[in-house]
């Protein structure tokens, strides 16, 4: 297939390289020239895309506002499959389905990445064995969706899950957005700069995604504001229970809370 990837950061460039390696013709489009030159030099793309002409599929790998603008205004070929690779889905769908489109839209969200960003962090095997979420709506073209699933397999994804945009946003609020907020807040402890020699795996796990791009992640949080507020409020309420047990010296209550959390943890990992 002829595929155009617009946005050659870590997500877009990794997808471009994986699809190129799978035998597809991949063209790259980017707002800065440097990423195009890097992608060409490292054989992540076949050539630069001057337009979307001739594309069978387009993946838009841009921040939320830029993604929605491109999906609304981009000059995509008739019947072309157009996918966003964005961390929120309801807001994107509202834009796409606000009027008839000549392209066929399929929402996607790769469950992969790193704590770093940009094309220098891209990897040809970033998606190998990883999960991909595809959102389905009443207006989703079934043939287009099946084609995207085949492309996902070509890119190396190991598991594909389908859901509505609302289901996506509710679950991502917990599994991604809340985790980034907690990590970011955790690292603000005054002790954090003086713990060299005292850290192990648990500290590294808690801080790994704390160094967020504040502009991008603020946009994601506010587009998913309601589900994220619900998850954040629930977490604060649960943490307050642990604080109360400590403050009151209630060892039995602390054991109960920890047991409850352990059982929830064990159930999750037994059902993965």
Q: pLDDT tens-digit profile of 126-145?
A: 999 999 999 999 999 999 99
For the beta carbon of residue 128, count every other beta carbon within 10 angstroms.
13
Residue 77 has what DSSP assignment? P
> Predicted confidence band at 117 (pLDDT cuts at 50, 70, 90)?
confident
Domain residue limits, the chain: 2-163, 168-270
How confident is the model over 251-272, as pLDDT tens digits?
999 999 999 999 999 998 887 6
How confident is the model over 192-241, as pLDDT tens digits?
989 999 999 999 999 999 998 999 999 999 999 999 999 999 999 999 99
- Average pLDDT estimate for 94-108: 97
Structure token pair of residue 191: 């002790």
> Predicted confidence band at 159 (pLDDT cuts at 50, 70, 90)?
very high
Q: 């054991």: which residue's tokens?
A: 255
Question: Among residues of the chain, what percentage have pLDDT more than 90?
Answer: 93
CATH code, residues 2-163: 3.40.50.720
> What is the spatial distance between Cα 14 and Cα 39, in angstroms, rounded to a whole number?
10
Fold matches, 2-163 and 168-270? no
- In this predicted structure, the answer to whether residue 73 has a pLDDT above a threshold of 80 is yes
- Average pLDDT estimate for 137-160: 97
23: which residues sit within 8 A by CB, 6+ positions away? 154
> What is the spatial distance between Cα 49 and Cα 58, in angstroms, rounded to a whole number?
11
Q: 226-245 burial, b if ≥16 CB within 10 A, otherwise e?
A: ebbeebbeeeeeeeeeeeeb
- Which one, of 133, 153, 136, 46, lies nearest residue 85 by Cα? 133
Q: What's the whole-number average pLDDT of the chain?
A: 96
Q: What is the pLDDT of residue 93?
A: 97
Residue 12 has what DSSP assignment? H
Q: What is the pLDDT of residue 87?
A: 95
> What is the spatial distance between Cα 38 and Cα 55, in angstroms, rounded to a whole number?
22
Cβ atoms of residues 169 and 88 within 8 Å: yes
Strand partners, 4: 27, 58
- Which one, of 271, 270, 241, 233, lies nearest residue 258 by Cα? 241
Topology (CATH level 3) of domain 168-270: 6-phosphogluconate dehydrogenase C-terminal fold (1.10.3660)
């Amino acid at each position: 297939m002829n595929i155009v990837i617009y946005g050659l950061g870590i997500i877009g460039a990794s997808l471009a390289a994986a699809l190129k390696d799978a035998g597809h013709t991949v063209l790259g489009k980017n707002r800065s020239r440097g990423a195009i030159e890097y992608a060409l030099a490292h054989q992540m793309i076949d050539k630069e895309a001057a337009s979307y002409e001739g594309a069978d599929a387009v993946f838009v790998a841009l921040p939320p506002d830029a993604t929605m603008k491109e999906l609304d205004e981009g000059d995509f070929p008739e019947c072309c499959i157009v996918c966003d690779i964005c961390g929120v889905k309801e807001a994107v769908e509202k834009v796409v389905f606000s009027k008839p489109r000549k392209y066929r839209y399929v929402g996607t969200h790769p469950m992969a990445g790193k704590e770093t960003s940009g094309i220098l962090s891209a990897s040809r095997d970033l998606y190998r064995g990883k999960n991909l979420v595809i959102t389905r709506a009443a207006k989703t073209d079934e043939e287009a969706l099946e084609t995207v699933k085949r492309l996902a397999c070509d890119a190396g994804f190991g598991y594909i899950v389908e859901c509505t945009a609302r289901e996506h946003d509710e679950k991502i609020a917990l599994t991604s957005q809340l985790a980034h907020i907690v990590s970011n807040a955790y690292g603000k402890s005054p002790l954090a700069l003086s713990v060299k020699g005292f850290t192990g795996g648990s500290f590294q796990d808690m801080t790994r995604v704390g160094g967020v791009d504040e502009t991008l992640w603020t946009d994601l949080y506010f587009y998913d504001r309601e589900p994220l507020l619900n998850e954040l409020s629930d977490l604060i309420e649960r943490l307050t229970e642990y604080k109360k047990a400590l403050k009151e010296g209630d060892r039995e209550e602390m054991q109960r809370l920890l047991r409850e959390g352990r059982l929830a943890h064990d159930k999750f990992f037994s059902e993965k």
